[in-house]
A and B are shown apart, each in its own frame.
Chain A
Amino acid sequence: DAGVTQSPTHLIKTRGQQVTLRCSPISGHKSVSWYQQVLGQGPQFIFQYYEKEERGRGNFPDRFSARQFPNYSSELNVNALLLGDSALYLCASSLDPLRGTEAFFGQGTRLTVV
């Protein structure tokens, strides 16, 4: 079985541009969460989606948005990119986010904003 897959693996964008990151969860998982990890810090929660509905949002500006599709894959969009958005973006999938089940992570998308 495939694990959580994210695309692209690396991305370079210019300040002010927009970016879309993609995530496919493990088959059968209906919840996807997005995290941002900057150097020297632990991953920070951005969004959680379950059954195509937003279930939680972290402390990120409105430039960050996401959605989940009927097949449970998800996209994270960031508008008006800033240099500070340079980070590793991780996607995690789980069966049921409201229970103590494991969250499985993808390898991440490394975004560099220049």
Chain B
Amino acid sequence: ILNVEQSPQSLHVQEGDSTNFTCSFPSSNFYALHWYRWETAKSPEALFVMTLNGDEKKKGRISATLNTKEGYSYLYIKGSQPEDSATYLCAFKRNTGTASKLTFGTGTRLQVTL
């Protein structure tokens, strides 16, 4: 059984705060780690696909790091804005050689208030 765990479950910060979330995944047979941002009533939006140990990726105020040996990834948001309010999902892709399903965590729900 693959367990992908995210913490915290929810987070409430004020505008301008910086924040970070954690995604833990199995360290064996790693292939890729995906981060998604999901606003209510919209499609999950792909943020990052990370494949190499030590990867760091950045998109605007959002960045992510990857440690495949210990099985975790961090997502950072610098200077949170109300429009960052969403659920942030991570998904692990295992190296199976055939199907490449994504195994999702339950998400971190972020609420940013003025």
| Residues of chain A having any CB pair with chain B under 8 Å | 3-4, 33, 35, 40-45, 48, 55-58, 90, 92, 97-98, 100-108
CB distance B49 to A56 under 8 Å?
no
Q: How far is the CA of A48 from the CA of B102 in the complex (A)?
A: 10
CB distance B106 to A42 under 8 Å?
yes
Residues of chain B lying within 8 A (CB to CB) of residue A3: 43
Tell me the total A-B contact number using a CB cutoff of 8 A.
Answer: 65
Query: Interface on chain A toward B: helix, strand, loop, or mixed SS?
Result: loop
Q: How far is the CA of A45 from the CA of B4 in the complex (A)?
A: 13
Q: How far is the CA of A100 from the CA of B31 in the complex (A)?
A: 7
A42-B105, A100-B49 are contacts. A48–B100 as well, Cβ < 8 Å?
A: yes
Q: How far is the CA of A40 from the CA of B89 in the complex (A)?
A: 12
CB distance A42 to B41 under 8 Å?
no
